[in-house]
Amino acid sequence: MDEDKEWVADVLRGNKQAYAHLINKYKNKIYAVLLRMVHHPQDAQDLTQECFIKAYHYLHSYDTSRSFSGWLYRIAVNLCIDTLRKQSRYPAVEGELDESAIADQQSPESVYLKKESASEVHGLIQELPETYRIVLLLRYMDDLTYQEISDILNLPLHTVQVRLHRAKQKLREHFLNVKKGGQLHEMF
């Protein structure tokens, strides 16, 4: 029995303090996933808090033969999808780029071009259909395996692979059609 399952068992036996260990372990990861989906820090914080409340409420239904982190990610992603659908809005292209990753370039022009390219890719990802966008974000932004994504979204592994392939194909098609010969199409 791993550490997460021990803490879950402690919580279910009445030790409410054990839940703090689970929150501390996963709060940053859940927040990061939600922030990538909603692009508003306050909304991501609210959803993270709501995710842990919901997980606590349904902890008795957690299947200990499965990964706790996968179960928690599934709650977070489903909660976010439900919230976005209820609000009938999708996130605008905002968010901060990791400037430290591009700061080592020599000229201000190259820094600007890289930042613009990243912003354009980010915008295109947000335009993808929800089913493709979520799989792409979980795979490449959160570095989850296909199996973890399959568990989180409760989808067959093959469906995850197909959606990821189609998401990349849609991005590739955009760059081949719109940016022929440009810098960005070489990324895909």
Query: In sequence order, what are the residues at sequence separation of 6 or more whose Cβ sits closer than 8 angstroms to the Cβ of residue 120?
Result: 184
Average pLDDT over residues 19-39: 90
- How confident is the model at residue 159, as a pLDDT? 93
Higher pLDDT, 174 or 43: 43
- Full set of structural domains in the chain with CATH: 3-87 (1.10.1740.10), 100-187 (1.10.10.10)
pLDDT over threshold 50, residue 95: no
- How confident is the model at residue 186, as a pLDDT? 46
- How confident is the model at residue 93, as a pLDDT? 40
- How confident is the model at residue 102, as a pLDDT? 40
61-77 per-position pLDDT tens digit: 998 888 898 899 989 98
How far apart, in Å, do the first and last CA atoms of the chain sit?
Answer: 41
CA dist., res. 49 & res. 31, Å (int): 9
Q: Give CB contacts under 8 A, 24+ apart, made by 154-162.
A: 154/74, 160/135
DSSP per position, 71-114: HHHHHHHHHHHHHHHHHT----S-----HHHHTTSSSHHHHHHH
111-153 per-position pLDDT tens digit: 555 565 666 666 777 788 888 888 888 888 777 888 888 888 8
Look-up of token digits 């990791």: 98
Torsion sign (Cα): 42, 44, 48, 54:
positive
Average pLDDT over residues 2-11: 90
pLDDT over threshold 70, residue 22: yes
> Against a cut of 0.85, is the pTM above it?
no
